[in-house]
Amino acid sequence: MPPTIVLVHGAFADAASFAPVTRRLLDEGLTVRVPAVPNRSLLGDAAYIRSVVEQIEGPVLLVGHSYGGAVITVAGAADNVVGLVYVAGYALEEGESLGELQGGFPDSDLAAHLVYTPFPTEGSDPGTDVTVEIDAFPSVFAAGIDAGEAEVLAVSQRPLAALAFSEAAPVAAWKSKPAWGIVSAADHTINPDVERFGYQRAGLRSVVEIDAPHLVMRSHPHQVVKTITDAIAEIG
């Protein structure tokens, strides 16, 4: 039985960011789940996704885009996870944070266009939400996407709490699970060298480079689906 494919979205996006890939996987008769990531903290988000995974009967293939890559790095330690697919994502090392991994490379275009907004938290100091400037969103985050669609995505961002950038991954699931990766070579959100470095360090089974923007699953869904189904075939 093929594994259930769990698609994990990243920051500034939601489950709909995977819609073209989701549709194609369903058309191939595969079982897919696309949960909403809270985007509140790396540890909390990973715990939530792991809880989703552990309630699925049978094996699971975790697919993480962007920040979702960091989430699956931690959540992928669940016993029924049989593989990981990174899509323009962060493959963290155990004990490493997003900020530490990114800090070793020149900033992408995203860094100059982030917006920081306080939000209330119960019984403690306010948190900080991070979003992308609406006017910069189409070129920085949604390059290669239809202009009208990019405009809608820009005003419907799902923020990422700043805490997620500083929390260290307590485990790196790629050390015990097979993994595959996609580099978005034309990425303006994550420096593509961050993706390449993380994948090489993790010793991924295969890495595909696509001349694509950050939202590669929307601009090149067929190629993302092929990487996922190739991983399933290799898992057997």
* Cα dist from 147 to 8, 18, 108, 179, 226, whole Å: 24, 18, 21, 33, 26
* CA of residue 44 relative to chain centroid, distance: 15
How far is 230 from 236, CA to CA, in rounded Å?
A: 10
With a cut of 50, list the residues of the chain below it in pLDDT. Answer: none
Q: How many CA atoms does the CB half-sphere of 212 hold within 13 Å?
A: 20
Q: Where are the domains of the chain?
A: 4-104+165-235
Amino acid at 165: F
Tokens for 103, please give them. Answer: 């800090």
Q: What is the dihedral of CA 9, 10, 12, 15, to 10 degrees?
A: 0
What pLDDT is recorded for position 13?
A: 96
Instruction: Report yes or no on whether pTM surpasses 0.75.
Output: yes
For all residues of the chain together, what is the average pLDDT? 97
What pLDDT is recorded for position 123?
A: 79
Give the model confidence (pLDDT) of 55-108 as tens digits: 999 999 999 999 999 999 999 999 999 999 999 999 999 999 999 999 999 999
> CB of 61 within 8 A of CB of 1?
no
User: Distance between the two ends of the chain, CA-based, in angstroms?
Assistant: 9
Q: According to CATH, what is the number of the domain 4-104+165-235?
A: 3.40.50.1820
